[in-house]
Amino acid sequence: MTPTAIARVRFPERESDLALVFDRPHLPEGVRVVSRDALELAPRARLALSGYSAALPAGQWRAATVVETVDLGVELGAPARVRVVATDGTGAPRTIVESDAPAGAWTHRVDLTGFPDGGWCWVELEAGDVPVRASRIAWSTEAVPARHDATASLAITTLNRVPYCLDVLRALADEPALRGVVDAVYVVDQGTDHVRAADGFPEVAAALGDMLQLIEQANLGGSGGFSRGMHETLVAGRSDFVILLDDDIRLDPESILRAVAFASYCREPTVVGGHMLDIAHPTVVHSFAEGIEQRSFVWRSLTPLRHDLAESGLAETPWMHRVYRPDYSGWWMCLIPVDLVERIGYSMPFFIKWDDAEFGLRAQADGASVVSLPGVAAWHVAWANKDDTTDWQAFYHARNRLVTALLHARRRRGGSLWLHNLAIDLRYLLSMDYYAVALRHLAFEAVLAGPDALVAELGTRLRDIRALASEHPETRVRTEDELAPAREIAIGGAEPGRFGRVARFGGQLLRHLIARPGSGRPVRVTDGTARWWHIAAQDVIQTRTADGRAWVVRTRDRSAFRAAVRRSIRLNRAYRSRWDALAADFRADRFGVASRATWERIFADTARDA
């Protein structure tokens, strides 16, 4: 059988990405990158292609696919010493083969049964007395795929991020290997600054040709945009997979090819997710795998967060060699089998937040698997550079987490979710984020209204949420010139321990309930990040926004605090007491509210209203 490529070693065009290939932040001595698929070694130079995007996650291939052997191929322009190295699930290395290879094509077959608990595999090269050009380094297999000649459609949801979206489209257009693998690129434009009107779009459209399908629709959030991409893929009936992509990513199309290859060999329907790399720090990976902690039903990473591969590469990081079993994969880059979408439906009409997590849990309930595949990734703005839990998105965080718990929580009445929600409300109130708490209260009320409200308010809720901000002065973003004179403070020192945080929480809770706000000068935080225990100790405090470019002013309001505490207790107790009935309602309707028919009605209704 003709070998099928499953991963090509592609050399980076940016110096900042070197550690992803060479497991170090600089080129090895005597090594020069010639092109994306070739490099040159000076006499006696050596290198190890043991980086995150160059090595093969052999343990993951063994765990999820029908592939039993893979072949490593290298084109050598002169004789060289070649070594193939493998690791186990603990990261312990072993040499599989070491040989003096002649010029020309060199291959070696690797048996994946040698990776029962995880591990990676990579190639190391050493030049002799003459320079060596090494090219077309790739992993392939002769195994019969579960899905023959599999193809995918891409679904990109965009909202007023035209330059980013065009960059993604250019990257796709510039990769010839995508032809024959990608059937269509659906760009679902939900903004007012349209992609079609941008400089450079005609050239990109011409390069992509018939593959590009541009769809303009009302803003239905990420869930609406990605559901439209799923829908168009199903209607076209050509693709085995649909791959969801954010519009503000930096993409190497090799990740598309790897994801499709992996999914086509999976034993069972599998959601294949790509990792998130920090676009500002390109060697930092957000998380290797993510899950849901059932006790309080909250997101959690199964691995250390924000690991920098330039500081600790694959060979030095044992936990990276394990095979993880995530609950979901983020939709910045995620492959979904089309037949799975046909069975379980599209995204829940969440607008944004928790749609990817809910879909992953729904897919697993249907018998599908979820894999976060190492070596498949996109660069994205890191969550650490965002703070969307207290702005208008607070509503969607709270509502959609609660709905997802009603659908999928395994603990009685959601475990300690209600206590966790109450603690979040109180922490935000102590931080004088009254707007965020007001939105959370609206979210709980929306859930109490039942599943029909999800569809009814999909296109209107955002308007109401933003209108409410005008009633909360802490949402107003100010320049430094607009700030009142204040006493400046710098925040530093060690973070209080758990007991210290609990003690401060209790003390400040009493103060905010009982004491009248003072009339002294505001406090301005000029250095350091203000956490809730810093903010709660003040009556008026000026703090920087998450991006550090502007300021907000928080002012303590005792009457608002008291009213919000009472409302939080009442609402959290309300959904907990009605948990079984609410869960039954949402679970009975989960396939209907996310169904093709429901989304077709949403698309039609919003098109008429436009």
Q: How does pLDDT run across 346-404, given as a tens digit for each residue?
A: 999 999 999 999 999 999 999 999 999 999 999 998 876 566 888 999 999 999 999 99
Query: What is the rounded average pLDDT of the residues 493-503?
Result: 85
Q: Is the dihedral of CA 308, 309, 311, 314 positive or negative?
A: positive
Band of the pLDDT at 491, cuts 50, 70, 90? confident
Q: How much of the chain, in percent, has pLDDT values that exceed 90?
A: 89
Q: Are 262 and 61 in contact (CB under 8 A)?
A: yes
pLDDT for res 388: 81
Query: What is the rounded average pLDDT of the residues 57-72?
Result: 98
pLDDT for res 1: 67
Cα-based torsion angle of the residue sequence 388, 394, 395, 396 in order, rounded to the nearest 10 degrees: 50
**Fold: same for 4-141 and 152-289+324-385:** no
Query: What is the rounded average pLDDT of the residues 340-346?
Result: 97
Residue 419 has pLDDT above 60, yes or no: yes
Q: Which two tokens stand for residue 287?
A: 């998380």
111 catalytically annotated = no
Query: What is the rounded average pLDDT of the residues 188-214?
Result: 96
Residue 527 has pLDDT above 90, yes or no: no
pLDDT for res 386: 64
Q: Tens digit of pLDDT for each residue in 574-598?
A: 999 999 999 999 999 777 899 999 9
Percent helix, strand and coil across the chain, each rounded to 5? 40, 25, 35
Which one is predicted more confidently, 531 or 48?
48
Fold of 4-141: Jelly Rolls (2.60.120)
Residue 610 has pLDDT above 60, yes or no: no
Fold of 152-289+324-385: Spore Coat Polysaccharide Biosynthesis Protein SpsA; Chain A (3.90.550)
Query: Which class for 332: exposed (0-12), middle (13-18), buried (19 or more C-beta within 10 A)?
Result: buried
- Name 108's Cβ contacts closer than 8 Å, sequence gap at least 6: 71, 72, 82, 84, 96, 97
- Average pLDDT score, the chain: 95
Dist CA 431 CA 535 (whole Å): 5
Going from the C-alpha of 305 to that of each of 110, 285, 288, 570, the distances in angstroms are 31, 8, 8, 35
Task: Spell 444-457 as b/e; 16+ CB within 10 A means b.
Answer: bebbeeebebbbeb
Query: What is the rounded average pLDDT of the residues 303-332?
Result: 96
Q: Which two tokens stand for residue 411?
A: 């603990």
Instruction: Give the three-state DSSP class for 87.
Output: strand
Q: Tens digit of pLDDT for each residue in 230-262?
A: 999 999 999 999 999 999 999 999 999 999 999
Q: How crowded is the C-beta side of 19, counted as CA atoms within 13 Å?
A: 19
- From 356, 433, 539, 589, the catalytic residue: 356
Q: Tens digit of pLDDT for each residue in 108-163?
A: 999 999 999 999 999 999 999 999 999 999 999 999 999 999 999 999 999 999 99
Q: How much of the chain, in percent, has pLDDT values that exceed 70?
A: 99
**169-173, 198-202, 544-548, 554-558, range with the lowest pLDDT:** 544-548
Residue 502 has pLDDT above 60, yes or no: yes
pLDDT for res 2: 82
Query: What is the rounded average pLDDT of the residues 292-321?
Result: 96
Going from the C-alpha of 229 to that of each of 211, 254, 312, the distances in angstroms are 13, 21, 38
Band of the pLDDT at 545, cuts 50, 70, 90? confident
Task: Spell 345-376 as b/e; 16+ CB within 10 A means b.
Answer: bbbbbbbbbbbbbbbbbbbbeeebbbbbbbbb
For residue 139, the surrounding DSSP H or E stretch is strand 132-141
Work out the end-to-end distance of the chain between its first and last CA atoms, rounded to an integer number of angstroms: 53
Query: What is the rounded average pLDDT of the residues 82-92?
Result: 97
Q: Which residues pair with 542 in a beta bridge?
A: 524, 553
pLDDT for res 590: 75
Sheet holding 93-101, edge to edge: 46-48, 121-127, 80-87, 93-101
CA–chain centroid gap for 151, Å, is 23
Dist CA 177 CA 298 (whole Å): 39
Nearest to 4 by CA among 311, 264, 375, 293: 264
Strands 333-337 and 241-246: antiparallel
- Size of the chain, expressed as the number of residues it contains: 610
Residue 11 has pLDDT above 70, yes or no: yes
For residue 417, the surrounding DSSP H or E stretch is helix 417-430
- What is the Cα Rg of the chain in Å? 26
Q: Tens digit of pLDDT for each residue in 445-472?
A: 999 999 999 999 998 999 999 999 999 9
Residue 521 has pLDDT above 60, yes or no: yes
Residue 608 has pLDDT above 70, yes or no: no
Dist CA 320 CA 285 (whole Å): 11
pLDDT for res 478: 95
pLDDT for res 609: 63
Report domain extents, the chain: 4-141, 152-289+324-385, 394-576
- pTM to 2 decimals? 0.95
Dist CA 424 CA 404 (whole Å): 18
pLDDT for res 493: 72
Query: What is the rounded average pLDDT of the residues 598-608?
Result: 90
pLDDT for res 492: 75
Going from the C-alpha of 222 to that of each of 88, 125, 331, the distances in angstroms are 39, 45, 9
Q: Which two tokens stand for residue 330?
A: 């983020």
Band of the pLDDT at 530, cuts 50, 70, 90? confident
